[in-house]
A and B are shown apart, each in its own frame.
Chain A
Amino acid sequence: MSDKPVKIRGRAKNGVAEIKCLMPHPMETGTRKDADGAFIPAHYIETVVCKHNGKEVMTAEWGASVSKDPYFAFTVRNAQPGDIIEVSWTDNQGQSSSGELVLK
C-alpha cells in the first residue's frame, strides 16, 4: 500500500539543515463532486513524521485543506553532512509512503 515516494531535498549548513519535501497525493477534501454529481471521497494525508538519524524531530497533523501534492519545509538543528533525514506520511485511507535523504 505504498504510494509515490516523498521527494526530499536539503543541505546541512552551519549546523542546521533546511529540508524541503514534496509528497505526491490527491488531497481530496470530500466536498468536490465528479462529473456525475457524486461526491469524491475524502482522501488526504493526516500525519507526517520527520526523523533525523532515526529520532523523531517533528510530526505534523494535516486536514484536507493542505494543497494537492503537499509541499512541506522545515529546519533541523544539529545537522551534519552524512546525517539521514526520513519523512513519512499516513493518509485517512490507511495508505502511507516515505522518503529518505542523506545530507550533503
Chain B
Amino acid sequence: MTMKRSRRWFLRAAVTAAALVTLPVRVLARATAAFKAKDTDSLMRELFGDMPIEASDAITLKVPDIAENGAVVPVTVSTDIEGVQQICVVVDNNPNPLSAIFNLSEHCVADVSTRIKIGDSSITRALVKTSDRVYMTMKEVKVTIGGCGG
C-alpha cells in the first residue's frame, strides 16, 4: 500500500514538474503560422490582421545595398516612433520571408541589430507595430553570389 501510494505521488509530481517546465514556452506564443508563410502578403495578414500599414520615414533600416555574402547580412532597425511594441524583419524573396520578430517592452530602446541570410537579391522590409497601426520601410539588397565582385 505504501509502495503504491508513493508511486502515484511520484507520477503526479513528475507530471506537474513537466507542465511547469513547458509553461514558459507556451506563454511566449510563437507566431508559427507567420514564420511558415511563403509570401509577404500572407505573413503580414497573419501578423497584423486588418491593422493599417503605412510607409514611414521615421524608421531607419540599415542594410547594405550590395551584400557580398548572402549568408551573413547585417541588419539594424531603429525608430523614434513612440510606443513600439514589435519590430519585424522581412525578406520578400526568401523561402520563408519572415526572419525575425522582436517584442519590445517600454524598458528597451527601439533599436535592434542582428545578421540574417538573404538567398537572392530582394526587397527587405522593416515593420514597426504600435498599439493601433503598423509602419513600414523598405530597401533593396543585391546579393552577389561568389562574392568576388566584377
Chain A positions within 8 Å of B, measured between CB atoms, are: 16, 29, 31, 46-47, 49-50, 52, 55-68, 70-78, 90
* B25, B35, B95, B100: most-surrounded residue (chain A CB, <10 A): B100
The docked-state distance in angstroms from the alpha carbon of A68 to that of B115 is: 9
- Closest beta carbon of chain A to B101's beta carbon, Å: 4
Interface SS majority for chain B: strand
Residues of A within 8 A of B28 (CB): 47, 49, 59, 61
Q: Does B99 contact A (CB under 8 A)?
A: yes
How many chain-B residues does the 8 Å CB contact rule pick out? 34
B107 touches A65 (CB 8 A): no
Chain A residue nearest to B105 in the complex (CB): A57
Please judge, given known A-B contacts A65-B91, A66-B117, whether A46 and B108 are in contact too, CB under 8 Å: no
Contact between B101 and A74, CB atoms less than 8 A apart: no
Per the 8 Å Cβ criterion, residues 73-111 of B in contact with A are: 73-74, 76, 91, 94-96, 98-109, 111
